[in-house]
Amino acid sequence: MMTELPWWSAEYWLLQWQLFSYYLHISFLTFGGSITTLPDQYRFLVDSKHLLTATEFNSLFAISQASPGPNILYVALFGWKIAGAPAAFLCLLGICLPSSVFVLALERLARRDPGARWLRVIRTGLAPMTVGLILAAGTVLARPVWLHWWMIGLMGLAVSVTYLSKRNPMILIVIGALLGALMSVLA
Amino acid sequence: MTISLKQLFVEFMKMGLSGFGGVLPFARHALVERTGWMSEKEFTESLAIGQAMPGPNIVNVSLMFGYRRRGLWGALAAVSGLLLPPMLALLVFYFFYRQFEHYPVVRGMLQGVLAVSAGLMLGSGLKMAKSLLRSGEKLLHAVILALAAYVGIVVLGMPLAILLAVLLPVTLLWAMRHEK
């Protein structure tokens, strides 16, 4: 639901700020890729602030997956849907800015001593937590899947192909779109 | 080899625009194989650090690469090439979607894509879990941490900030005891 607030109202910019500051804080929490924060974005945008419906959230994410570009861009699409062009840019900037500053600062430090112990601690130590977070994101994303047997089948196919091979995910996305179109015609 | 800011922007824009379902494979191909700007080793190391740090992996790789070659402006050129043109492409794509969204076929296609995305995510999570389980000695710690993260989000619905405020210190302390 695109906001009906006029761009010159204080509420409009308050909404922009609310989105921007949410994504600023989430930026520090994106360990293992932005995808690990997807459940939290759902909690904030859908459950807590009612800025998007569950269906909107899921379809916007799916649209971004079907379009080229870094995965992170779904954030801009959420912003666009909620409050137009400024929000699209602010959400993307918000989720990238703090982590970028952090990474550049670390890059400077790491250049002095590439084998430093603290670097190894971070690199190996975070892995288990990241795995848990990614599986959690997959579970949250899978919620609408259980409605249709063909979606369950597709998901199963994607899980096994990813797990067993290094095949390009794009082929699976195309198969998913085609099968989805076919099932909607048959229904 | 010197790389101009414009070259950085254009090359990362190409990667961004061609990357379907994740830019990473395209980035590797462009940086290592096509331009030879990075060695295989340098790319893998940047990726490992990019993954361990907060922030989108591929954004981190572009930042580090741009920064190494051309300083702060280089980082900015690379990351804006990677993100901004694809963002415009996505908004155009979305505009067309809006014209056709009331057709059941379009909705069906999205449901299909969504099912695949969920599967891709679960599949890569499982794959990472497998390589973690192979690593041996720290097994119990790893399973407890992964499970705690999963339960906190899926079962308890905790805000990520609170969950990580608890898990991060534990994680890093455990890792410090193992990495001598």
A70 and B82 in contact by Cβ < 8 A? Answer: yes
Is the pLDDT reported for residue A49 higher than 80? yes
A134 and B75 in contact by Cβ < 8 A? Answer: no
| B25 contacts on A by Cβ (under 8 Å) | 168
Calculate the average pLDDT of chain A. Answer: 88
What is the pLDDT averaged over residues A65-93? Answer: 91
The per-residue pLDDT for A56 is 92
The per-residue pLDDT for B21 is 59
Q: Which residue has the higher pLDDT, B35 or A45?
A: A45
Please tell me whether the interface predicted TM-score (ipTM) of this complex is above 0.90. Answer: no
The 10s digit of each residue's pLDDT in A125-154 is: 777 888 888 899 889 889 889 989 999 999
Min mean pLDDT across A15-19, A114-118, B54-58, B66-70 is at: A114-118
Is the pLDDT reported for residue A1 higher than 60? no
From the list A25, A117, A180, which residue is nearest B109 (CB)? A180
Is the pLDDT reported for residue B129 higher than 80? yes
- Check if the beta carbon of residue A158 is closer than 8 Å to that of residue A168: no
Is the pLDDT reported for residue A87 higher than 90? yes
Query: Could you tell me which of B25, B21, B27 has the C-alpha nearest to residue A173?
Result: B21
pLDDT band at A2 (very low <50, low <70, confident <90, very high): low
The 10s digit of each residue's pLDDT in B77-128 is: 999 999 999 999 999 989 988 898 889 998 899 899 889 988 988 988 888 7
What is the pLDDT averaged over residues B117-142? Answer: 81
Displacement of CA B150 from its chain's centroid (Å): 19
For the whole model, what pTM was predicted?
A: 0.84
Angle of the A54-65 helix axis to the B57-100 helix axis, nearest 10: 110
Which residues in chain B (26-45) have CB-CB distances under 8 A to chain A? none
**Structure-block tokens of residue A118:** 């603290």
Min mean pLDDT across A97-101, B28-32, B100-104 is at: B28-32
The per-residue pLDDT for A110 is 75
pLDDT band at A121 (very low <50, low <70, confident <90, very high): confident
B169 touches chain A (CB under 8 A): no
The per-residue pLDDT for B27 is 82
pLDDT band at A173 (very low <50, low <70, confident <90, very high): confident
Q: How deeply is B165 buried, as exposed, middle or buried, from its count of CB atoms within 10 A (0-12, 13-18, 19+)? A: exposed
Q: How far apart are CA A26 and CA A153, in angstroms?
A: 33
What is the pLDDT averaged over residues A38-42? Answer: 93
A169 and B107 in contact by Cβ < 8 A? Answer: no
Displacement of CA A159 from its chain's centroid (Å): 18
Q: What is the DSSP string of A73-130?
A: GHHHHHHHHHHHHHHHHHHHHHHHHHHHHHHHHHHHHHHH-TT-HHHHHHHHHTHHHH
